[in-house]
Copies of this chain bind each other. A is one copy, B any other.
Amino acid sequence: MDQPKKKAGAPTAFLLAQVGAHAASQFAERLAVLQIKPSDAGILRLLGISAGINQQELSGKLGIHPSRLVAILDELERRGFVQRKPNEEDRRHYALYLADAGRALLEQIGRIARQHQDALCAALSHEEREALAELLQKIADQQGLTPGVHPGYRRMKSN
């Protein structure tokens, strides 16, 4: 009680929202050179690790309105990044795959994501970045966030 009180900084929850919004907008700005949005990048990334997932499974995983997902996939298919194939076991559901151009785009997205992270975390050492990721992952797990899925999909309006 004799020690001088540490100057209180901004609350952790506010800093999370502030730095998180900054991270999201900086990533969106960087992705604009590829003429895609972070929501497109997230879908391409999921297709890269879950080839053959169907539209219903994907909309459930993202928490996105199915009609909105269809509109996004229409555009990604039109641009040659995604292929829809009839599912042999259940013809009601298209199975989704990355096309060759989609795989190439995903590599570009990966490079941009690494540049973005390096710029965003320029103030932190390698060890501090790992410590930060561990603390954030603890929160994400306890809060029940789906790994790799930004909560923004849930708030996208239907088409």
User: Which A positions have Cβ atoms within 8 angstroms of B?
Assistant: 9-25, 27, 38, 113-114, 116-117, 120-124, 128-143, 145, 147-152, 155
Q: Would you mind naming 28 contact pairs between A and B with Cβ atoms under 8 Å apart?
A: A9-B133, A9-B137, A10-B140, A11-B113, A12-B121, A13-B23, A13-B113, A13-B116, A13-B117, A16-B19, A16-B20, A17-B24, A18-B136, A18-B149, A18-B150, A19-B20, A19-B139, A19-B140, A20-B23, A21-B24, A22-B145, A22-B151, A25-B151, A120-B139, A123-B138, A123-B139, A128-B138, A132-B132
Chain B residue with minimal CB distance to A128?
B135
Contact residues in B for A12 (Cβ distance below 8 Å):
117, 120-121, 129-130, 132-133, 136
A9-B133, A12-B129 given as contacts; is B122 within 8 A of A142 (CB)? yes
Chain B residue with minimal CB distance to A152?
B21
Q: A112 CA to B114 CA in the complex, in Å?
A: 36
Partner of A21, one of B14, B121, B148, B151: B151
19 additional contacts, CB 8 Å, given A13-B116, A14-B148, A16-B120? A9-B134, A10-B133, A11-B114, A11-B133, A13-B120, A13-B121, A17-B38, A17-B150, A18-B140, A18-B145, A18-B151, A19-B143, A21-B152, A22-B145, A25-B151, A25-B155, A123-B138, A123-B139, A128-B138
